[in-house]
Amino acid sequence: QILLFSAGKQNTARYNLQPLDIASVIEGVLRDNAPGITSAGMTLERAIDPELPHVIGDGGAVARCLENLVSNAIKYGAQAGWMRVSASSVNGRNRPEVAITVEDRGMGIASSDLRRIFEPFYRGKAAQDSQIHGTGLGLSLARKLAHAMRGEILVESEPGRGSRFTLTLPAAGMPTVTE
């Protein structure tokens, strides 16, 4: 994560934006994280629309964004034993988009921390107090990657009730950028 953060600071990161089968990317990330989900004792609920359109994005960048959201759900939500990953088409920001949501019923994030969790190296007080390992770079990098693909990452959370992170990406068929 530190190397990716450094590359982004130097503007050396390049993205190959093209139509992606987002359902396959999601399933790949979940397959790669299955051992962590299982060892955390979590139940994974899936709600992925079988008719999802392709998105415009960089396959590696999308996978890194989702990897961060899933690994955070494992890390901060394992005590609740439940995670849900959903994906559906939505009408957003004047264009069709696909919204991928990763939610847990874990520790949640205090409202005072919500406005800062996408800042590099920032970790909320509850995360620090629980001594859960982290650099505070994952969400910052994930949001940077999302923005590079003309997407967004949004968060809803409540302490003690869990968190819900949503990655939105433009649906294929919309004008694209080359970098």
- Determine which of 4-13, 31-40, 157-166 has the lowest per-residue pLDDT on average: 4-13
Q: Report whether pLDDT(137) > 70.
A: yes
Contact 126, 117 (CB under 8 A): no
Distance CA 51, CA 113 (A): 36
Q: How many residues does the chain have?
A: 179
How far is Cα 19 from Cα 3, in angstroms, rounded to an integer?
27
pTM: 0.86
Percent of the chain exceeding pLDDT 70 equals: 80
Cβ neighbours around 93 below 10 Å, total = 12
Least confident interval from 74-78, 87-91, 151-155, 159-163? 74-78
Q: How does residue 59 score in pLDDT terms, banded at 50, 70 and 90?
A: very high
